[in-house]
Copies of this chain bind each other. A is one copy, B any other.
Amino acid sequence: MKLQEYHAKTLLARAGLPVPEWAVASSPGEARLQAETFLARGAGKVVIKAQVLVGGRGKAGGVKLAASGAEAERVAGAILGMDIKGIVVRRVLVAPAAEIEREIYLAAVLDRTERKILLMGSAEGGVEIETLAEERPDAIVRIHAHPHLGLLDWQARKLAFALGLGDHLKAAVAIAQGLQRVMVENDADLVEVNPLALVRETGPDGTPVLTLQCLDAKVTIDDSALSRHPGLEAMRDLDEEDPIDIEARRLGLSFIRLEGSIGCMVNGAGLAMTTMDLVKRAGGSPANFLDIGGGARSEKVANAMRLILAEPSVKAILVNIFGGIARGDEVARGLVEARSQQTRDVPMVVRIVGTNADLAAGILADAGGGIRTAQSLDEAVEMAVAIARSAEA
């Protein structure tokens, strides 16, 4: 689950990391008030940033500066309601604009190959790390935290020196270790600060001082761990989600809506993707990805079927179950149950093999009309594509 910038910053600030103060506004007037507060406290300008979970908001015009309350109101008005890659901006973050001396990239990510938390940094911040990784991999510093002991002091120092932050050693060490800690304490997959900036400020005695500050933050939470972090689940931005995604999650289903006409219900992500691949290959187009998971009971199957049928563009349904931990009879019972409650008559091709497939065949046979069965995957896919094609023709 991705967190909005203002939620990510909350996690960082809670862990004691230096995040400049911020406010969140959902109306231009609110943004004006907040901007005026920051300006009154001495900020030269404020920055107003669209809060959306898709990338590229800067290029899309979702990040702007303002020098007065009136300008802030105008800018926020332009950003709120803006459509960024299909997402409508509902909130903006307002913060004092920092005088940036230097930008650094720093992130903690889960490294699947090493099976450790990887701290990745680059002395050149504000960049797309993927681009940098491809073009100049040597410009990225990589240090793996200890799986039990975390990011050791010496590792954090090594990272700091490599990023040219030797003059800010203590602060850089605290930030690097803080990112690792935020990751562990919140079961995050990713904790990214880009840019981490050396910011020019005026010290109490009027002399300029440079401090390290986290100016942006991106955090992604491990979905498998959300159940043990109710506070994070509460940060989920339901406004940005497709209502059907919310419903699928509530039902414990892994569902992704697509554009096509063939509703797919499969157990297992790999087989579900393969089923979609084969539908495309056979000239059809899948209406969704749906993995009902291992050990699905009949009720879950029925719920899954309702989700598929909620999409009017679905002209055929392809059920592909290879029983293992899932048992064919449970799935068949769910299908029959869903069928009995179904208001819309969409043809269904069912293929159930593996554990308890024989029982499933009996249940489906007893249920009678409307359910066509297939033995092989290829056969099932062809049948479904043919039905969808004739329905669309």
Contact = CB atoms under 8 A, between A and B. Distances in A.
Interface of A: 148-149
A357 B148 CA distance: 47
Contacts of A148: 148-149
Contacts of A149: 148
A181 to B, nearest CB: 16
A171 to B, nearest CB: 22
Nearest to A149: B148
A148 B149 CA distance: 7
Nearest to A147: B148
A245 to B, nearest CB: 35
Decide if the interface of chain A is mainly helix, strand, loop or mixed: loop
A147 to B, nearest CB: 9
A149 B146 CA distance: 12
2 contacts: A148-B148, A148-B149
A130 to B, nearest CB: 33
A341 to B, nearest CB: 42
Nearest to A146: B148
A116 to B, nearest CB: 14
What 2 pairs between A and B have smallest CB-CB spacing?
Answer: A148-B148, A148-B149
A252 to B, nearest CB: 26
A279 to B, nearest CB: 45
A152 B149 CA distance: 16
A76 B296 CA distance: 66
A129 B148 CA distance: 33
A280 B149 CA distance: 48
A149 B149 CA distance: 9
A356 B148 CA distance: 45
Nearest to A148: B148
A347 to B, nearest CB: 51
A162 to B, nearest CB: 26
A226 to B, nearest CB: 22
A38 to B, nearest CB: 38
A144 to B, nearest CB: 16
A149 to B, nearest CB: 6
A148 B148 CA distance: 6
A149 B148 CA distance: 7
A228 to B, nearest CB: 15
A105 B39 CA distance: 65
